[in-house]
């Protein structure tokens, strides 16, 4: 249990370092889930749970001043508890969002303490001391990584037994309700995403995709390809390429005249 807790904590550290490695989005549940499954010896469940949690957290994206729930911690612990307890997908989906919200609250509390360290960086910048600025930069990164590591380590090491006892005391009718909710919660992820991108101009295309899938039986891949074609035509990608070709040919003709 200790070794697994340490490995899961290191996965959390890897997720934190994703921003320093070029923002590869390896902290998303669809990537983290299989890694957690591999650590806990159930790779297939890790893939399934990770994909389902990705749907749940699809709209959890930082835009402007909005800070989304902690997708990294929710994905790791949701998948880990589901695999360890053997409760299945519905447990992962039900636990992931509350865990992510609690982790966000803890991160916000720790972030409130960071201005103290940033003052050292400001003073160093005033003096032109680049070495101190680098030290503060690395210190802030280390604090964030240590926070995630300790949170995942203690939550998994101390929380598995508690989660198992709670799940064992829940009546079957509640378990069935959780299963139904697990099937509905992924729509919340789509709703959060659509709330950010949906405008009056693209509403018709939303219903077009629904009609093609629900009534005409077109597969999702076909709808996606049709969407790419519509975007390419609507935003002038095709006409732009044509104009570039025509412009290039005209330049060649002018060169030939000389």
- How far, in whole angstroms, is CA 155 from its chain's centroid? 20
Nearest CA among 96, 111, 102, 4 for reference residue 56: 96
Residue extents of the structural domains in the chain: 2-185, 199-258
Query: 47 is written with which tokens?
Result: 């893939």
Say if CB 84 and CB 160 are below 8 A apart: yes
Measured between alpha carbons, how far is 167 from 11 in angstroms, rounded to an integer? 26
Nearest 5°: phi and psi at 218?
A: -70, 135
pLDDT tens over the chain, length 258 residues = 889 999 999 999 998 888 777 778 888 889 999 999 999 999 999 998 898 888 878 767 766 556 778 889 989 998 998 888 887 777 787 788 888 888 888 888 888 877 777 788 888 888 888 888 888 888 888 888 899 999 899 988 887 777 667 666 767 777 677 666 666 666 766 777 777 777 888 888 888 988 998 898 898 889 989 989 988 888 777 665 555 444 445 555 455 554
pLDDT at position 238 is 66
Residue 32: which residues within 8 A CB-CB, separation 6 or more?
Answer: 11, 15, 26, 50, 72, 75, 76, 79
Say if CB 235 and CB 229 are below 8 A apart: no
């Amino acid at each position: 249990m200790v070794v697994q807790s340490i490995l899961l904590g290191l996965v959390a550290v890897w997720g934190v370092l994703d921003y320093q490695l070029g923002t590869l989005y390896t902290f998303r549940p669809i990537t983290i889930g299989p890694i957690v499954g591999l650590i806990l010896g159930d790779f297939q469940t890790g893939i399934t749970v990770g994909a389902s949690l990705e749907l749940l957290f699809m709209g959890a994206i930082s835009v402007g001043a909005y800070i989304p729930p902690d997708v990294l911690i929710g994905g790791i612990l949701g998948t880990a508890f589901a695999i360890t307890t053997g409760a299945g997908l519905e447990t992962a989906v039900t636990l992931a969002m509350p865990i992510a919200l609690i982790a966000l609250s803890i991160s916000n509390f720790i972030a409130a303490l960071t201005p103290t360290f940033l003052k050292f960086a400001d003073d160093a910048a005033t003096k032109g001391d680049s070495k101190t600025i680098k030290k503060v930069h690395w210190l802030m990164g280390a604090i964030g990584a240590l926070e995630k590591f300790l949170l995942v380590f203690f939550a998994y090491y101390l929380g598995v037994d508690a989660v198992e006892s709670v799940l064992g005391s829940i009546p079957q009718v509640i378990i069935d309700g959780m299963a139904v909710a697990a099937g509905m919660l992924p729509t919340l992820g789509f709703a959060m995403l659509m709330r950010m991108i949906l405008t009056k101009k693209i509403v018709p295309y939303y219903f077009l995709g629904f009609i093609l899938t629900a009534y005409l039986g077109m597969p999702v891949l076909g709808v996606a390809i049709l969407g790419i074609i519509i975007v390419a035509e609507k935003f002038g990608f095709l006409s732009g390429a044509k104009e570039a070709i025509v412009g290039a040919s005209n330049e060649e003709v002018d060169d030939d005249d000389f």
